[in-house]
A and B are shown apart, each in its own frame.
Chain A
């Protein structure tokens, strides 16, 4: 049986590096890439009434934009390279969603890049990599 590799992908250079790393591993064992893009979202944020009215519409637009701007080209690229790819675009907290996707797909590994923020930055704003390592249900690889 071939394993699935969940890759956190947002189109950035570091995410790209993570994806390349994951492709090498997946190819070696004939595995699948689960390309996952998370739109940061909290159900406890505050919105104005106008934002409430337009939320459903904006969500559709955001999903389409994420699909078109971030996923489509890279998925085509991977397919051309002979990889099997699945995609997930979800709303929520990035580490939490990556963990959930890994569980749902029975993935063998989660692979993400990192943006190399300073220690103080990570303390103030929190770090996806840090939170993921603490909570992930499967082994994680953080690609520098």
Chain B
């Protein structure tokens, strides 16, 4: 698979170097098509394996896998996501942080960095995909999946800190590959190493897919939506060059600026969504009604209720990555003596990401009535292909979100385009790190080895921008869910360790042995 893809990318890179202004748009478009075709052909088998249905049904087994995992953790830890929210917020505020540890990674910083890897296109484009296919009802299942997913995130991030590596030179890093191998060894279970290797392989694919190609693809769609259509590989080359400058060139200033602007953009996005919702307050009740009605009847979407449910669950998992194991990598570096504290902090992540931000997107799309409804039956109309709900401007993905915001605030698509580009960029930087950690787990550390991964990562930026949304989103989902398959198996075997940590921590918190500072 890789050789084909690489040669296509190299061809794209070569064309960029030799291209002249007169280069015909037509030829460029056909190059995009070629990249798309090669990509779709070479990844199809993997996608159909991950998304195969239970025999005789239209229900993909992977969706059940994630939901069952989240339910098991929710029950096993006694609804920890609801019990411990207050304490989690207190931890993020730094109430329990030793002032003498100032200068180390705080709970807030670990959470913010992990969030910058998840808040992004999943919240803007992913939700639009879910609602475009599954109708408003997908929102309900998305929120439910996120609330359950908080327990998965809690489990994996606690383990991430507990089994992290502290290197002699002072670096600290961890993640599923380490807790799978070390945790299994500690419990005397076989197979930890195999799971860790599998996880690393899927994590690299996930980094190249959801953490890279999907981002590049949607960033291109957004930019071309604003400035007019042009070939995707041009966006790809520009993005790849900037990503290259940061991850290979070590130009920290670019990353630092992004890290500061992204939270601001996030707040602006939620603020604007709230504004649009308030401007149409009389429709809020109706929109919530649509969400509930759609959740249980489908309101005419393709696949009916099950279609709405699958879309909601899929997008939630893709957006907040609970159970996937990726966030455990970012959370591992926190300074704490109690791994459980970081687990508790991390459970806020799916809440902020999905329950708050994704729901805002969903409400704006529903309230601005982008989905075309049959006024007589109250059911949604399907597009010509019958695969998704018909939208006002025939938009999908990020284009749908943009149209929804633009219908109320005409200039907002420009701000959104900027936000999407920045979100895409920060997600790429974070995922390049996740992928790199998996890569070094497999191949060992070393400058040349790390450079190879970073260059591959940049090549995939170009491919992602040039390919069409369908194959890219399929591959991205498949790779990220494949990580969850391995990770959740591991979590089942390691959850007694988390329970022991949790019980010990909670009893010490209750007895006053663990106190607030000052």
Contact = CB atoms under 8 A, between A and B. Distances in A.
A39 interface: yes
B171 interface: yes
A48 B218 CA distance: 22
Contact of A52 (B97, B110, B255, B434): B110
Given A53-B172, A57-B170, A62-B103, A48 B429 contact: yes
Contacts of A58: 170
A48 B430 contact: yes
Contacts of B337: none
Nearest to A45: B109
B104 interface: yes
A63 B102 CA distance: 12
Given A43-B94, A53-B173, A57-B169, A48 B103 contact: no
B105 A55 contact: yes
A99 to B, nearest CB: 12
Interface in B142-193: 166, 169-173
A89 to B, nearest CB: 10
B46 to A, nearest CB: 26
Interface in B70-110: 94, 97, 99, 102-106, 108-110
**Which of A49, A54, A56, A58 has most chain B Cβ within 10 Å?**
A49
A47 B103 contact: no
Nearest to B166: A56
A91 B169 contact: no
B48 to A, nearest CB: 32
Contacts of A48: 113, 252, 255-256, 259, 429-430, 433
A62 B102 CA distance: 13
Interface string A35-54: 00001010111111111111
A52 B333 contact: yes
A56 B333 CA distance: 9
**Looking at chain A's contact residues, is the secondary structure mostly helix, strand, loop, or mixed?**
helix
Nearest to A50: B433
B401 interface: no
A53 B104 contact: no
A44 B108 contact: yes
Contacts of B94: 43
Contact of A43 (B106, B170, B255, B262): B106
Contact of A46 (B104, B112, B171): B112
Given A56-B170, A57-B171, A60-B170, A47 B113 contact: yes
Interface string B215-250: 000000000000000000000000000000000000
B172 A56 contact: yes
Nearest to A43: B106
Given A47-B259, A53-B171, A91 B109 contact: no
A59 B333 contact: no
B104 A59 contact: yes
Given A41-B102, A52-B330, A46 B170 contact: no
**Looking at chain B's contact residues, is the secondary structure mostly helix, strand, loop, or mixed?**
helix
Contact of A39 (B103, B170, B334): B103
A39 B103 CA distance: 8
A52 B169 CA distance: 14
Nearest to A44: B108
A63 B104 CA distance: 12
B60 interface: no
B430 A49 contact: yes
B335 interface: yes
Contacts of B263: 46
Contacts of A17: none
B329 interface: yes
A10 to B, nearest CB: 16
Interface in B102-140: 102-106, 108-110, 112-113, 116-117
B3 interface: no
B510 interface: no
Nearest to A93: B102
A100 interface: yes
B500 interface: no
Contacts of A92: 99, 102
A44 B106 contact: yes
Contact of A47 (B99, B109, B170, B171): B109
B104 A56 contact: yes
Contacts of B433: 48-50, 53
Which 4 residue pairs of A and B lie closest in terms of their CB atoms, listed nearest first?
Answer: A57-B170, A91-B103, A43-B106, A91-B102
Interface of B: 94, 97, 99, 102-106, 108-110, 112-113, 116-117, 166, 169-173, 252, 255-256, 259-260, 262-263, 329-330, 333-335, 429-430, 433-434
16 contacts: A41-B103, A44-B108, A44-B109, A47-B113, A47-B259, A48-B256, A49-B434, A51-B252, A54-B170, A55-B104, A55-B172, A56-B171, A56-B333, A59-B170, A91-B103, A92-B102
